[in-house]
Amino acid sequence: MTNKDSSTEEIIKEAARNVFQRQGFSGARMQEIADEAGINKMMLHYYFRSKQQLFDVIFQEDYSNLMAPLAVILRNPELHVEQQIIRFVRGYHETMVEHPRLPLFLIHEFAKNPHKVLEMAQKAIPVSKSEEPAHPQLSATTFMDQIDEGIEKGHYNEIDARQLAVSMLGMCTHAFISRISVQTAYEMSDEQYMKFLEERKEQVIDHTFRILMKPDYYVKWKKKYQKEKENTST
């Protein structure tokens, strides 16, 4: 039981993560993973039995550690939608800046094998302790319900909450999924792109709220938000 992070198992997983994220399941070669880990190919099978099992472990881990926590934000009934959006978008960008290939990887494998991934997703998002087992997903107001509420109050535009959700997700993912085309089209260096992503975090929040909120409510919100930011940063 040596240092956990430098154990062979962890080294393999890290190498496999890289290769699978670059090449996808079918594009990845066991030999390539072994090379990247600097070990014998046998080791992969010794620790993870088969390519499929190694892949499943990686995918499961990535999904549970990185995506599931974000999904949970949008189901937290304690949190106001506006806070849900802010935390989701920030969380998404902060996570994906560290793992830029993850969105495309997850989406691609998802599309190739929806059935399997859906099972996995259910496992990965455990029913939170405060929720009654009888009402697994609907315990309180959700993202959608809160938006409808805001519409009734006259704060929000009369939009389909699902359309907003898809737009928000799309704005989040696209900067990572299409990085190369964006970077090429606008002739950005890697540093410039990182800066672009850093700015984008707040931009996506702004875009989402411009879509969601009626203009006067948006202005009010923005003032309040700017003050909060100043307080937090000092």
Partner DNA sequence: ATTTGGTTCAACCATACGGTTGAACTCAAA
Partner DNA sequence: TTTGAGTTCAACCGTATGGTTGAACCAAAT
| CB 116 to DNA: min, Å | 16
Residue count at the site for DNA (CB under 7 A)? 16
CA–CA dist 140, 23 (Å, integer): 41
The contacts of residue 127 (CB under 8 Å, 6+ apart) are 133, 136
- Residues 10, 46, 94, 138: which binds DNA (CB under 7 A)? 46
Q: Scan residues 49-108 and list those touching DNA (CB under 7 A).
A: 49-52
| CB 177 to DNA: min, Å | 25
- Residues 10, 22, 31, 159: which binds DNA (CB under 7 A)? 31
Shortest CA distance to 164 belongs to which of 143, 185, 182, 178?
143
Shortest CA distance to 209 belongs to which of 230, 188, 226, 233?
226
| CB 28 to DNA: min, Å | 6
Chain residues in the site for its own copies (CB under 8 A)? 22-27, 101, 104, 107-108, 110-112, 114, 118, 157, 159-160, 162-164, 166-167, 169-175, 177-178, 180-182, 184, 186, 196, 199-200, 203-204, 207, 210-211, 215
CA–CA dist 175, 180 (Å, integer): 9
Q: Which listed option, its own copies, DNA, none, makes contact with residue 162 (CB within 5 to 8 Å by class)?
A: its own copies
Cα separations (Å) of 22 from 17, 18, 30?
A: 8, 6, 13
